[in-house]
Amino acid sequence: MVGTGMTILVQSSSVFTSAITPLVGMGVISLDRMYPLTLGSNIGTTATAMLAALAATGDKRSVTIQVAVSHLFFNILGIAVFYPVPFMRKLPIEGAKRLGNTVAKYRWFAIAYLLLVFLIIPLSLVALSFNIYLFSVVVGLLLLLIVLIVTLNLLQKYCSQRLPTCLKTWMFLPSPLRSLRPYDAVLS
């Protein structure tokens, strides 16, 4: 509720989130406490969309209100999926901790991550979408790679004694495929 209220006041979840992020970095607020505040700010940001929808006139008003209500329910549904179930709640928090630790160790990783996630991957998906066959092959191969990595991680964790010696660790891969250190040596 605090995140929702503060976001309604400043009319921007980005402003609210950017304001409390340094507090987490300084240890004033814990990451576990910031998570519900951020979720609340995502609901609060829908108030701006509601206000904008109400400003529409004529026959467009019902469509704009429909979009604003869809935005609200999309955010509420996202919270209903991730927040009530404890193990689902831990996924974004653990991901944030892992990313934070990686960026603390390799400063360049923040920019590389932003470029990859918000520019390179979306542009690649748009480019691939023009050729649905190629898109299907690439996405299928990526999903297969993810399944293989997860499977090998689980096998290494729970039954490593059954694995061949070379697969008990990731040391069989070249250094740039298992560590960020080679990239750090070049970029730092």
Tally Cβ neighbours within 10 Å of residue 33.
13
Residues 6 or more apart whose Cβ sits within 8 Å of residue 53: 61, 64, 65, 67, 68
For residue 1, the model assigns a pLDDT of: 60
Strands (E), the chain: none
Tally Cβ neighbours within 10 Å of residue 100.
14
| Three-state DSSP state, 108 | coil
Residues of the chain with pLDDT under 70: 1-12
For residue 35, the model assigns a pLDDT of: 87
CA 79/CA 72 separation, integer angstroms: 11
For residue 5, the model assigns a pLDDT of: 61
